Amino acid sequence: MKHLLSIADISREEAITILNTANELAKVSDTPMKKLPTLRGRTIVNLFAEDSTRTRISFEAAAKRLSADVINFSAKGSSVSKGESLKDTAQTLQAMGADAVIIRHGASGAPARLAACEWMSGAVINAGDGTHEHPSQALLDAFTIRKHLSHGKEDLAGLRIVIVGDILHSRVARSNVLLLTKLGARVTVVAPPTLIPYGIESWPVDVAYDFDSVIETADVIMMLRVQLERMSELFFPNAREYSRYFGLNKERLSRMAPHALVMHPGPMNRGLEITADSADSARSVILEQVTNGVSVRMAILYLLLAGDTSIEVGA
């Protein structure tokens, strides 16, 4: 594994290796010395062509805990806003000696383009590309679910996971569906028909249009953000109607199984897809997702950068 571009590219075993590595790295956060020398002297560039708080900070924290040098590069305030192409940006980063580029881009496939080309030799990590994938988010979600509900097993076999909301625009949903089913979970997506992507039959999921019908049997309810910025037309009549049919509120929360979890990748539209009391309830692991995000991203950086990836594992 040289790059992390999408969940579709990685095998079940690789995913489990990442989760197990994250589990060990999470312990470092509990020790007085939170820094490891493992990636000392490596340079990691955060190339964010789209807004992000948590993913960028999470990758930055992960890189710094492994002693790597981090250069933050956002489209606003850089030459990208003057019209510099991805190619020129990549070649500049290569000339500066970047060992890895963590890229978020509005165009689906931008990280894959970067990885396939000759413009730079470092590792490419997809931190979210358009409406395609967001692999590190899916891995941290799987890690959080596994920690709470797998009872010591390495995978998520038999768990029922419900993903609710804007499936059409969500890269988080795409990566999660691929990863969670790869790990043996049963995934149901719930959304109004306008927010279900064309061709959903080819996904390994069940589709429901009635949120209330799947609440009691779910082990995890994952709410997605309504991505107002990606919506050019009206996908639902109004916000109040969306909340009424597809929002997580106190009443729906009370019907969940006793062990079931509430998740949200953030940032939340409180009052739209999730009410404040649901987001802050005892079932909610939303802040834990953020904490686990650092450990999972440390694992990704460690596995991609610490060793010589040109040697096959086990060789």
Tokens standing for residue 12 = 């079940």
Q: How many residues bind other proteins (CB under 8 A)?
A: 26
Instruction: Burial-class residue 231 by CB neighbours within 10 Å (0-12, 13-18, 19+).
Output: middle
CB 173, CB 147: distance < 8 Å: no
Of the candidates 118, 201, 233, 312, which one interacts with other proteins according to CB under 8 A?
312
Of the candidates 83, 237, 258, 314, which one interacts with other proteins according to CB under 8 A?
314
Q: Is 212 in the site for other proteins (CB under 8 A)?
A: no
Stretch that binds other proteins, among 34-42, 83-91, 229-237, 286-294 (CB under 8 A): 34-42
φ, ψ of residue 126 in degrees (nearest 5): -80, 120
Of the candidates 95, 234, 282, 315, which one interacts with other proteins according to CB under 8 A?
315
Query: Is 283 annotated as catalytic?
Result: no
Give the residue with the Cβ less far from other proteins, 38 or 291.
Answer: 38
Give the residue with the Cβ less far from other proteins, 95 or 311.
Answer: 311
Q: Is 24 in the site for other proteins (CB under 8 A)?
A: yes
Q: Is 234 in the site for other proteins (CB under 8 A)?
A: no
Of the candidates 5, 15, 19, 25, which one interacts with other proteins according to CB under 8 A?
25
Task: Compute CA 225 distance to the chain's CA centroid, rounded to the nearest angstrom.
Answer: 13
Query: Could you write out the DSSP letters of every residue in 154-176?
Result: SS-TT-EEEEES-TTT-HHHHHH
Query: Is 35 annotated as catalytic?
Result: no
Given the residues 56, 134, 182, 252, the one annotated as active site = 134
Stretch that binds other proteins, among 176-184, 260-268, 269-277, 302-310 (CB under 8 A): 302-310
Q: Is 8 in the site for other proteins (CB under 8 A)?
A: no
Query: Is 54 annotated as catalytic?
Result: yes
Helix (H) or strand (E) holding 209: none
Q: At what angle do helices 135-149 and 171-182 cross, to 10 degrees?
A: 50
φ, ψ of residue 139 in degrees (nearest 5): -65, -40
Of the candidates 12, 17, 94, 130, which one interacts with other proteins according to CB under 8 A?
17
CB 142, CB 175: distance < 8 Å: no
Task: Compute CA 109 distance to the chain's CA centroid, rounded to the nearest angstrom.
Answer: 16
Secondary structure of 216-265 as H, E, C letters? CCCCEEEECCCCHHHCCCCCCCCHHHHHHHHCECHHHHHCCCCCCEEECC
Q: Is 77 in the site for other proteins (CB under 8 A)?
A: no
φ, ψ of residue 232 in degrees (nearest 5): -95, -20
Query: Is 104 annotated as catalytic?
Result: yes
Of the candidates 37, 83, 237, 258, which one interacts with other proteins according to CB under 8 A?
37
Give the residue with the Cβ less far from other proteins, 41 or 83.
Answer: 41
Shortest separation between residue 178's beta carbon and other proteins, angstroms: 22
Say which amino acid occupies 120.
Answer: M
Q: How many CB atoms lie within 10 A of CB 203?
A: 18
Stretch that binds other proteins, among 27-35, 82-90, 168-176, 272-280 (CB under 8 A): 27-35
Query: Is 225 annotated as catalytic?
Result: no
* Active site residues per annotation: 54-55, 82, 104, 134
Binding residues for other proteins (CB under 8 A): 1, 17, 20-21, 24-25, 27, 31-33, 35-38, 302-304, 306-309, 311-315
